[in-house]
Structure 1
Amino acid sequence: MSNKVYIARNYRSKFDAAGKAKMDCETILENNGWKNIGFKQTWIANSILGTLISALGVTWAILRLKSGSTVCLQYPFNKFYGYCLWGAKLKNSKVLTLVHDLKSLKGKYGHSDKEVKLLKQSDQLIVHNDKMAAWFHEQNFNSEITNIEAFDYLHTDNPNAKRTQTDYENIRVVFAGNMGPFVYELDGLERGNFKFDLYGVGYDAKKVKDINNTILDYKGCFPSNEVIDHIDGDFGLVWYGNTLDSCDGVTGKYLMFNNPHKLSLYLLCDMPIIIWDKAAMADLVEKEGIGFSISSLRDIKDRLAELTPAQIEQMKQNVQRVKADVQSGQFLTKALNRLS
């Protein structure tokens, strides 16, 4: 058995967007020679049964864990992360933690000494980006830390997916996800050569101020395994909060540290990115030439108007390069290799 191992778990659904990143990471680990010592990955919606299966799988994994191994844990791991740490210490094994989410960086939770204490027991950490790594260093972590840079999104292109050529007089900016309050404020923007196509949950047509003079076009909500084939646009918008002028609130501030899975989704839909300039991933977007950053949504009109068709096409070519890495699991693979 390989001395590099991980523990698969139960997810509520095979097609649940919330679990997509973690399920993909398990596949990428396997592709890189890491072996699952728990039960096989399952997709049982019943929370009680699913939790029981995960608990038994973790216990089985700890029993099988060989001394001197390296075990990769994905955090958070429900109630089992601490249990896995205990088992790894018992078996004199090293722990690599792949961080997906941090309560301590979400305003509604505040700093958690318990969370920090738990994560400090990890020997190695894969975190989202430089901004998140800096936060870990501020907490005096002695672990070896590297960045994933972007979350992979394993997917095979559907040749039948609709991809319409860009109309430069009517650029389609896509927003996919939960419809935050800022969405309905978009109609207050000065009109330009753009409109917004919306995909996701929570859309309320009654909140549209003037249905006869709106630049919002709601396209519907689709399962996570199908949405890539339905989204057809020119740019993908990464924005959260209540206002047009800044990403505010809990989700907005978290964007300063977080790698949203939404960005990877947009790349798989062949779209360059428009992102808040204070977001952690704005650096990657600018560096790779896969879009542009803005401080306010009011800047969209001028930024899109000044782009030439040749510049937009170059962004789309850059997207294809980064997309190839995202859909084949290269970002996690590179992070793993840096720690080996």
Structure 2
Amino acid sequence: MTKYVLNIIREETSNNGLSKPKSDINQTLTSMNYKLIDIPLLIGKKQKLVGSLLSVRKVVAQLKREDTLVIQYPTYMGALFDIKLLNVLHTKHIESVALIHDIDALRFQQPFGKGLHYEIFLLNKVNLIISPNSKMTTFLKKNGLKSKCRELKVFDYLTKVDVSNKNIFYSRNVYFTGNLNKSKFIFRLRNSENVHYQLYGPLDQHQNKVAAMYNGSLSSDSLLSAVDNGFGLIWDGDSEQISNLNNSSFGNYLLYNNPYKLSFYLAAGIPVIIWAKAAEAEFVLSNHLGYTINSIDDINNLISTITPNSYQELIQNVHRIQLKLIHGDYTRNVFDH
């Protein structure tokens, strides 16, 4: 019995966190003796229609009965590839494991037939689901998921940067990193005596509106080295409030997902500030890694109450989790289970 992980090769994206989570999973699993099966990403309707069956055959040709194949979901290979692959794996008695990065129906309006019902239908063809967290698992089960589930808890963050020996110091900086183009709330941020926002990441338009806060876009390793103080903000959407409605939006997606920003801030060694209703708020509070807020407007008062001494206590807790993240421990634990 051999264990494999499907490696869908795509062009490297800019510094927006799209490819690193999946490559980190691949790297950790290969260190656990999983073998990579490489196939190129199919792009566009024509390529997906013409290339799906051939791609499935290439994958399955490398597998035999009772092998295991880990699929990082979603594959973005198209419905024809996904359904055919999962059906063939089942027929050939090959164990399928889907590690969920995203449920797109929860963050984007989907075309007819491609919503949550379709995603559940697909995931029910899988033997084992690695769900991001218990909130996501509960939601999927409530909506018809039958497959066996385990929870990752938080995404690991592998790096060659020596982050564990960084000297983290107290400041009133609040960092927000990632793809700034989808986080319109940044244009409502205001620096004050208590808070100075630091924005990093791709930003295509209106940089002038956040000029006092914007520091450009860096590689993940450069950013890990640069961030050595203050707090990391986990927020999303258009405004300083996140409506707790179950409609598709970037902000509401925090109700269910494991934001990779959380992993980055903890790997950098700084405590976090997260929306109180976010799925990962429980992880933050139970491990004493930072604070929760209901609105961006809460940050000003919150920062004014935090002393250098209480900040140092948080740093010690963050350091404990940091060592796990940078060594891939959460991925190892869920697959060693």
* TM-score calculated relative to the size of structure 1: 0.84
Q: 2:206 aligned to 200, 204, 207, which one? A: 204
SS of the aligned residue for 1:73 comes to: strand
TM-aligned CA deviation for residue 163 of structure 1: 5.8
1:270/1:159 CA distance change after superposition, 3 Å: closer
TM-aligned CA deviation for residue 296 of structure 1: 1.1
Q: Which residue of 1 aligns with 2:132?
A: 128
SS of the aligned residue for 2:93 comes to: coil
Coordinate RMSD, CA, aligned:
2.9
Deviations 1:173-208 (A, max 9, x none): 101123333212122x7x342211111122624335
Q: 1:183 aligned to 186, 210, 235, which one? A: 186
Query: Is the Cα contact below 8 Å between 1:235 and 1:274 reproduced in 2?
Result: yes
SS of the aligned residue for 2:69 comes to: strand
Query: Is the Cα contact below 8 Å between 2:198 and 2:215 reproduced in 1?
Result: yes
Q: Which residue of 2 aligns with 1:62?
A: 60
Query: Is the Cα contact below 8 Å between 2:168 and 2:315 reproduced in 1?
Result: no
What is the percent sequence identity of the aligned residues? Answer: 27
Q: Could you tell which deviates more after superposition, 175-184 or 311-320?
A: 175-184
Q: Which residue of 2 aligns with 1:245?
A: 241
* 1-structure distance, mates of 2:326, 2:249: 29
Q: Which residue of 1 aligns with 2:76?
A: 78
Query: Is the Cα contact below 8 Å between 2:74 and 2:101 reproduced in 1?
Result: yes
TM-aligned CA deviation for residue 102 of structure 1: 0.7
* 2-structure distance, mates of 1:23, 1:154: 9
TM-aligned CA deviation for residue 317 of structure 1: 1.1
TM-aligned CA deviation for residue 219 of structure 1: 1.2
Q: Which residue of 2 aligns with 1:230?
A: 226
The number of equivalent residue pairs is 321
TM-aligned CA deviation for residue 74 of structure 1: 1.1
Q: Which residue of 2 aligns with 1:296?
A: 295
* 1-structure distance, mates of 2:25, 2:313: 30
1:326/1:15 CA distance change after superposition, 3 Å: farther
SS of the aligned residue for 1:266 comes to: helix
* TM-score calculated relative to the size of structure 2: 0.85
SS of the aligned residue for 2:229 comes to: coil
After superposition, where does 1:33-44 map in structure 2 within 5 Å? 33-36=33-36, 38-39=37-38
Query: Is the Cα contact below 8 Å between 1:97 and 1:126 reproduced in 2?
Result: yes
- Please state if 1:24 is matched with 2:45: no
Q: Unaligned regions of 5+ residues in structure 2, if any? A: none
Q: Which residue of 1 aligns with 2:255?
A: 256
SS of the aligned residue for 1:8 comes to: strand
Residue 66 of structure 1 aligns with an amino acid whose one-letter code is K
Residue 100 of structure 2 aligns with an amino acid whose one-letter code is V
Q: 2:141 aligned to 122, 137, 140, which one? A: 137
Deviations 1:10-57 (A, max 9, x none): 121287621111111111111223223x23x88x9x968x98999866
Q: Unaligned regions of 5+ residues in structure 1, if any? A: none
Query: Is the Cα contact below 8 Å between 2:101 and 2:132 reproduced in 1?
Result: yes
Residue 68 of structure 2 aligns with an amino acid whose one-letter code is T
